[in-house]
Amino acid sequence: MRPILRLVLGASFVVAPVHAAGAQRWYRGNTHVHTRESDGNRPPEEVARWYRDHGYHFLVVTDHERITDPAPLNAQLGKPGAFLVIAGQEITQQVADASHPQGIRQAHVVSIAPARVVLPLGEKGIAQGTTVAAMYASHLAAVRAAGGLAQVNHPNFRWSVRLEDMAALPDSTPFELWNAQPRINNLGGDDGHGRTSLSTEALWDSLLTRGRLLWAVGSDDAHNFAALDDAETTRPGGAWIMVRADTLTPAAIVGAMRAGRFYATTGVLLADVAADARAVEVTVAAPTNPRDDRRYRTRFVGRGGRTLAVVAGTRARYAIRGDEGYVRAVVVDSDGRTAWTQPLRVR
């Protein structure tokens, strides 16, 4: 599938009106993937080639506890403006916690475009006598000091991360709203015995309602490039981000992500996202396949996860009243695929 990326951009975006939007375009990218350099099952060249051949513009390779060198990958597969491999790693931090059924919470963080690796704390990466929140604070600071951008991973993996664990994350921290792997539990759940976890989207709304302006990411976390027809394996291609940037460089991509100039998606593509003090407006990209007859519904969401409006069609506009707290848009197509735009804070 070669997705739609020949898009002309319109008005300025939520938090970064400083750029002339006309010079910017959307770049499709995945910020979380593993190769044979850690626990993936294919060498880095094959992984990068999969993404290049499936319409992605950039890939952050995030092997566990190591930075897989992007230089040989870019020498072999990179092309200016078309495909770029960006350095990264996953910090596979675990936190001992007797209140968790397995005694351990998973507090993984991806580091995007760092100059050096950050290792998890504690013996075998299991920190004792601390909290998930403290580990996030420590690793976000370490990633920043290493020149990278930290992304908080898969909150509901092994039912690990609770609202209070994320409540002190700084504004503009990206987190995985949709990690496309099985057994990641994005939609949350109740085990029938009193253990309840919010969906990642409800978690996001709770944090936004508390004033934490986090950015939503969709990512693959793929490990398996050998059994692509097996839905039980960790395959690529399920969720990604579309980043609006001037150029395809690590600095431009990371800068746009810090500024919230991107959206998360599982297959809905947007031509434009515009937001200012008066309105939030989203425009679905025109189909490139003549048989594409999908229909779209956009839900605008505000404080407490409240639905502010639902609009059918490929263009949806919400006029801001001023009491919403924040406004974000979720666009769902008739196949169930979804795009999540970043929130606009309304004061």
The residues of the shown chain that bind Zn ion, judged by CB under 5 A, are: 90, 108, 153, 221
Q: Do the beta carbons of residue 293 and residue 333 sit within 8 Å?
A: no
Cβ distance to Zn ion smaller for residue 37 or 90: 90
Shortest Å, Cβ 154 to Zn ion: 6
Shortest Å, Cβ 61 to Zn ion: 11
Cβ distance to Zn ion smaller for residue 179 or 298: 179
The structure tokens listed for 195 are 């253990």
CA-to-CA distance for 243 and 27, rounded, in angstroms? 5
Please give the full DSSP string across 92-135, using - where no structure is assigned.
--EEE-TTSTTSEEE--EEEES-SS--PPPSGGGEE-S--HHHH
**Which residue minimizes CB distance to Zn ion?**
108
Please give the full DSSP string across 295-309, using - where no structure is assigned.
-EEEEEEEGGGEEEE
Shortest Å, Cβ 153 to Zn ion: 5
| CA of residue 153 relative to chain centroid, distance | 9
**Locus of tokens 């048989």:** 291
Cβ distance to Zn ion smaller for residue 35 or 338: 35
Shortest Å, Cβ 314 to Zn ion: 34
Cβ distance to Zn ion smaller for residue 23 or 187: 187
Shortest Å, Cβ 90 to Zn ion: 5
Q: Do the beta carbons of residue 269 and residue 284 sit within 8 Å?
A: yes
Cβ distance to Zn ion smaller for residue 24 or 62: 62
Backbone angles phi, psi at 319, to 5 degrees: -85, 125
